[in-house]
Amino acid sequence: MIKTAEAKSDGIIETPQEKRERFLMEFEKPFKCEKCNERFKKKKYLREHKSQIHSY
Ligand SMILES: [Zn+2]
């Protein structure tokens, strides 16, 4: 039996390099704004971003 190429549930196949870049990004900027998906290095930056961009 031949198994077809493994694809993730979302259909995106990552190359090892993309995987590494994504990992580094999540590692360096773990704080994500849930409203616009922007990432921040520090929780403080995220809080400032929220109060400036999504303030109302
Ligand atoms: Zn935002």
Which of the pair, 13 or 39, is modelled with greater confidence?
Answer: 39
What's the gap in Å between 41 CA and the centre of ligand 1?
A: 14
pLDDT at 5 over 70: no
Instruction: Indicate the pTM of the whole model.
Output: 0.62
Give residue 2's pLDDT: 62
**Alpha-carbon dihedral of residues 48, 51, 54, 56, nearest 10 degrees?**
-170
Give residue 56's pLDDT: 75
What's the gap in Å between 54 CA and the centre of ligand 1?
A: 6
What's the gap in Å between 27 CA and the centre of ligand 1?
A: 19
pLDDT at 29 over 60: yes
pLDDT at 13 over 80: yes
Give residue 12's pLDDT: 76
What's the gap in Å between 1 CA and the centre of ligand 1?
A: 48
- Kind and range of the H or E run holding 39: strand 39-40
Q: Which residue has the tokens 């198994």?
A: 3
